[in-house]
Structure formats: C-alpha cells, structure tokens
Amino acid sequence: MVVEHLSKRFGNRVAFDDVSFEVGSGEVFGFLGPNGAGKTTTVRTLGTLLAPTSGSATVAGIELCPENGPAIRSRISIMPESPGLYLRLTAAENLECFARLHQLPDRRGRIERALAAVGLLERANDLCGSLSKGLRQRVALARALLNDPQVLFLDEPTSGLDPAATRDVHELVTRLRDRGVTIFLTTHRLEEAERLCDRVAILNTTIRLVGRPADLRIELFSRGLDVRLRAELQDPASVFAQAPGIEHWEAVSPGSYHVTVADPDATAPDLVRALVRAGADICSIAESSHSLEDVYLQLVDDDGEEQPR
C-alpha cells in the first residue's frame, strides 16, 4: 500500500492532510492518534468508502479511484470499531451474507474456517444478539477474514474487550501476519501497537512520525542512564564530569540522577568507576526507557501547545 500526499476535507474542515506512507506486504502497520485525528477517515478513504480530496494511493496494488472501488474492496477487508452485525441473524448467517456479497466459492468451508480461526465454530448457530460484546467483535473479525484479504484494516479491534479476548485478538493478528496478510491497525492502545506493529504512524490531522517503535523512541528522546544510589552525592557535578560522554545530568530525587549520554553502553563503565571513586553506594544503573506512549504523548502534547487557543 502506497499513500502519497492524501488529503480529505469536508467543506472547510480538514479530516487529514498531506498524508504519505507506505506499508509493505505482510507488515503490521499501526496507525495512532488522538480522537478526531483522522484515523477512521483515512481507513474509510483507503477502503474506498470516501473519495479523497487530493493526493493518490495504491491499495492492494490497485490505484485508488472510484472506478476501482469494487476491485479494491474485493481484495481488502475492513473491520470497523463497531462490529455492525445483524443481531437477529446467527453468526453463520451473518458470515454467509458477506460470503455471498463477496461471491466467494466454497462458502460453507470458508465460513467454518473463519469461525474456527476466532474460536467460535461451536457458536456458529447462536443469534448474534445473544453474544457478548467480545464475541460479537470476534464474529466481526471472522467476517473480515472470509475473503482472505490482502490488506486487513482493523479499526480499534480490541476496543471494549476483556484481557483474555484482547489476547486472543492479538494472537490472531500475529497468526495473520505470519500468513503474509498486510494489517493496518488503528488503535488507541499504545502497548498493543508496540507489541504487534512492525512500524507505526502517529497522525494528528497530518502524519507526525512514521517508523519502528524503537526508532521513534530514539528519534524523539535523547538517550540516558538512570542512576540510583544509597545516598546523595556530595558534589555530583565533579563526579559526573569525570565520566566522558555525559552531556547533561539532573537530580531526580535524593540519591537518584538522570544523565543524558550519546552512547549508554560506552559511558556506563566510566560512570560506574567515577561513582565508585567518589565512594558512592550504587543500587542500580540502567538505560532510561521510553515507551511508545511517551513518544505519542510527547507529540500530541507538542501539537496541543502549537495550536492557537
């Protein structure tokens, strides 16, 4: 999937603007952003439900344009945030309807395989209205798998699910990735993106960052070491000055320091020696870790500060 300078406006309101990224075959691509950032509108646009205002895209190898809508939709699946099941139909009947809409061969076999993939084969004949929210979400996921999509769009797939159901969805996403399905995952759960996604994009109307979660952390945050001692240093400035590579240091709390370094692996041994020479009792020295959540919040907070009030 290749997206180049794609924009969507509703009148004067900008849903998303100048969005560009590429998603490789078999990649799990996370799409993060605050509410109203344009994530769902992007999915709907790439899924041919909405026409872009400008820009171009190729989805499942097909150019995004109105004439190619049915061809693109036959190669992709979109699982919206709300399952959107027919509640007076059974799980199997829901899937049968969609199998016929896709004009799939071997409908019965596909339905059974899709339900088995989400662990719902035994509930095939239950009315969807009688299923819990988590089970409905799984039926929706089975529906999205029916046509063996080349690209699978998952819009908040674990929203409202309990931890066990969330784990099941995560395992399923992993299995699909192993089968070579390209997955475009929209989520608010940053730990989910960090765990499942090969790369993520952070969107806030425009794309703010695209990359591997680990690379984004490095790109956005300086690297550092967290030092914890049994007692405060008498003269921390002179101690830290003895270790080459330390760019900056700050006291976080009594006995705890954060030092900014270019290369933690190179600096850590020198720092340990300097601390020992100063007679400090070292409890721990570890590289500072920043989660994807830190990256996300940093970007979103920056955007909030930049916006005029």
Partner 1 sequence: MSFSWTRAGAILQKELRDYRRNRFVVVFAMSVLPLVFVIVPTVQLFSINVTTTSSKLNDRIGISLLYMLILPALIPSVLAAYSVVGEREQGTLEPVLTTPMHSEEFLVGKALAAFVPAVLVAYVIFGVFLGAAAIFAHPVVASAVFQRDHLLIQLLFTPLVAGWSIWVGIGVSTRVNDVRAAQQISSFASLPPLVIVALMSFNVIRPSIALALGLAAVLLVIDAVAWRVVAAMFDRERLVTAGR
Sign of CA dihedral 50, 51, 57, 60: positive
- In the chain, how long is the greatest CA-to-CA distance? 77
> Closest approach of Cβ 119 to partner 1, in Å?
21
Shorter beta-carbon distance to partner 1: residue 68 or 174: 68
Site string for partner 1, 138-157 (x = CB under 8 A): --x--x--------------
Given a contact cutoff of 8 angstroms between Cβ atoms, the answer to whether 196 and 9 are in contact is no
H-helix or E-strand containing 259? strand 256-261
> Closest approach of Cβ 86 to partner 1, in Å?
6
Task: Single out the residue of 18, 20, 58, 89 in contact with partner 1 (rule: CB under 8 A).
Answer: 89
Number of residues counted as binding partner 1 (CB under 8 A): 33
Residue 170 binds to partner 1 (criterion: CB under 8 A): no
d(CA 187, CA 177): 17
d(CA 97, CA 160): 26
Shorter beta-carbon distance to partner 1: residue 32 or 85: 85
d(CA 181, CA 178): 7
Residue 44 binds to partner 1 (criterion: CB under 8 A): yes
> Closest approach of Cβ 165 to partner 1, in Å?
19
Residue 70 binds to partner 1 (criterion: CB under 8 A): yes
Q: Which 91-130 residues touch partner 1, going by CB under 8 A?
A: 93, 96-98, 100-103, 127
Say which DSSP state 26 is in.
T
User: DSSP H helical segments within 102-245, as ranges?
Assistant: 107-117, 133-145, 163-178, 190-196, 213-220, 236-241
| Contact set with partner 1 (CB under 8 A) | 10, 44, 47, 49-51, 70-71, 73-74, 76-78, 80, 82-89, 93, 96-98, 100-103, 127, 140, 143
